[in-house]
């Protein structure tokens, strides 16, 4: 039975992968609709033939890797349970120490290490792909350093969460999901507060914007929007990527507006001011806080469903999965697998909410700057630098895109330009 379940799981993953290969490479049509041909949203008007070809190739492979990576994670955790590795990790942990907390730490390091090894090939392929298409400029040693930082940060985070989670399971078998969610609220807020000043600097160097003339213009824009900003930060990304980006991070007094230095190097002041106005909208309309509220509501539902599904799985397949009790730490891979599945299933909804906020920010930015030419050309340059698809396939947009497609964004700006041309 165990061998049969393993074969079925691998077969299901292979069929899933073949479906998305067929969908992305042979079925999905990323061409610009007829009504947008020749418009400023049509990539043929701002990309050359080679860039168009590279964008199409890169997007297809990158999207395929995305759709393979998350289900591969599910397959990994399922096989870890099915073939008794989780049971072995617990046995090794129990034999290594008599202290419960240390046993949990040892179990976690084994599980984390095997997960890192299993997912490393796909991560490396993704990195190698971005290097091949000249998106990434990051040397392997630097990339590997970031991977190891990710590993230890994730391990440290779960080392805090997992002992508390399983302690709650033992204290309240029916309500642990609710108590765990309540504890997650201050933890989430604390981590978001730390993000810009503790976590992000582990990966890159941040410093106040060097171009003081540009900073004066940005701060004037912030003053116009009633934002009490004193500094704009830039981050050194040119050693890692050719892509452009800007974002708002953190909450409270640690909130920051950040520009990548690649953005500063490749866009002019008017284009940067439009992008900054976009980011300011997220602050003005409190999108970060709405995002936190939405995340917490979804996490409540997610933990409840995880509780129900874990109990069902252990009752139905406990012998096959080598789990006798949900409260045993051997069930942790099952917890990770179910949680990952629920996050993936919820991503079309969370992405839809994010795209709505980003659309609001685009409209806010163009109303504030009233420079449609700078806005349109900034999006065109973003498309060129990242070899992005202007009109992605439907499933890609649903599951991957937290921002509107460039077709939607540029066409909205072009409509604004036409509407206000004679004003």
Active site residues: 279
* Distance from C-alpha of 45 to C-alpha of 40, rounded to nearest angstrom: 6
Q: What token pair was written down for 244?
A: 């452009």
Per the document, the length of the chain is: 423
* Distance from C-alpha of 171 to C-alpha of 174, rounded to nearest angstrom: 9
Of 210, 356, 224, 211, nearest in space to 277 by CA: 224
**DSSP letter (8 states) at residue 28:** -
What values do phi and psi take at 224, rounded to 5? -60, -30
Q: Which pairs from 27-35 meet CB under 8 Å and 24+ separation?
A: 28/393, 28/394, 28/395, 28/396, 29/393, 30/56, 30/59, 30/389, 30/390, 30/391, 30/392, 30/393, 31/391, 32/390, 32/391, 32/407, 33/391, 33/407
* Distance from C-alpha of 277 to C-alpha of 202, rounded to nearest angstrom: 27
Report helix, strand and coil shares of the chain as percent, to nearest 5: 75, 5, 20
Q: What token pair was written down for 328?
A: 């045993």
Give the β-pairing of 233-235 and 256-260: parallel
């Amino acid at each position: 039975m165990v061998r049969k379940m393993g074969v079925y799981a691998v077969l299901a993953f292979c069929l899933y992968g073949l479906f998305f290969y067929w969908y992305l490479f042979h079925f999905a049509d990323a061409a610009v609709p007829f009504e947008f041909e020749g418009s400023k949203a049509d990539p043929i008007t701002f990309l050359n033939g080679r860039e168009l070809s590279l964008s199409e190739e890169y997007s297809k492979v990158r999207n395929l890797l995305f759709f393979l990576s998350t289900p591969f994670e599910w397959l990994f955790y399922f096989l870890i349970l099915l073939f008794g590795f989780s049971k072995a990790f617990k046995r090794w942990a129990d034999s290594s120490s008599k202290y419960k907390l240390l046993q949990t730490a040892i179990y976690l390091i084994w599980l984390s290490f095997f997960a890192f090894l299993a997912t490393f090939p796909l991560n490396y392929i993704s990195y190698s792909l971005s290097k091949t298409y000249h998106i990434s400029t990051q040397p392997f040693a630097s990339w590997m350093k970031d991977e190891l930082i990710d590993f230890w940060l994730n391990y440290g985070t779960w080392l805090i969460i997992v002992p508390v989670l399983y302690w709650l399971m033992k204290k309240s078998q029916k309500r642990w999901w609710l108590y765990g969610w309540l504890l997650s609220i201050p933890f989430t807020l604390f981590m978001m507060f730390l993000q810009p000043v503790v976590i992000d600097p582990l990966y890159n160097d941040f410093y106040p914007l060097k171009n003081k003339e540009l900073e004066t213009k940005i701060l004037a824009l912030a003053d116009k929007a009633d934002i009490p900003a004193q500094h704009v930060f830039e981050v050194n990304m040119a050693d890692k990527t050719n892509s452009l980006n800007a974002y708002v991070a953190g909450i409270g007094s640690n909130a920051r507006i950040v520009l990548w230095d690649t953005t500063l190097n490749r866009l002019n002041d008017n284009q940067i001011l439009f992008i900054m106005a976009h980011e300011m909208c997220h602050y003005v309309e409190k999108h970060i806080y709405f995002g936190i509220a939405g995340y917490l509501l979804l996490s409540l539902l997610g933990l409840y469903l995880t509780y129900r599904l874990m109990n069902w799985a252990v009752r139905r397949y406990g012998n096959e999965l080598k789990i006798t009790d949900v409260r045993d730490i051997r069930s942790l891979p099952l917890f990770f697998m179910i949680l990952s599945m629920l996050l993936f299933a919820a991503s079309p909804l969370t992405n839809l909410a994010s795209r709505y906020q980003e659309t609001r920010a685009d409209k806010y930015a163009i109303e504030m700057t009233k420079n449609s030419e700078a806005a349109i050309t900034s999006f065109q340059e973003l498309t060129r630098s990242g070899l992005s698809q202007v009109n992605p396939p439907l499933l890609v947009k649903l599951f991957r895109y937290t921002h509107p497609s460039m077709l939607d964004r540029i066409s909205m700006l072009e409509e604004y330009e036409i509407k206000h041309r004679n004003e």
